[in-house]
Structure 1
């Protein structure tokens, strides 16, 4: 996901709130310190290597 791209798409639609939201996300990401190797390892277990189609029971 690219916050800058999403902000530009929102601006093109005239969605000022969406644009402001994504620009805020981009600002937070740019100001955040880099992740430590421990943090990266913890996050990797939360990311699916191969996305699977998940269905819910009706």
Structure 2
């Protein structure tokens, strides 16, 4: 779900403040520059890091 969908849902509920909030979020995200390749690599490491559960010490 993206900000435009959340804004539409807020508008359907009559929540003008919620709609304005999500439209503002969408505007800010749209203005952000694209990530550099190094940033993408760092995020991949963080997202796909150690996902194995650790054994608890006895």
TM-score exceeds 0.5: yes
Instruction: Quote the Cα distance in structure 1 between the aligned partners of 2:20 and 2:4.
Output: 11
Q: Hey, which bits of structure 1, 4+ residues long, moved more than 6 A?
A: none
Higher helix share: 2
CA distance in 1, matches of 2:46, 2:9: 28
Q: TM-score, normalised by structure 2?
A: 0.70
Query: How many residues are aligned here?
Result: 48
- RMSD in angstroms over aligned alpha carbons? 1.4
Unpaired segments of 5 or more residues in structure 1? 49-58
* Higher-Rg member (1/2): 2
Unaligned runs of 5+ in 2: 49-58
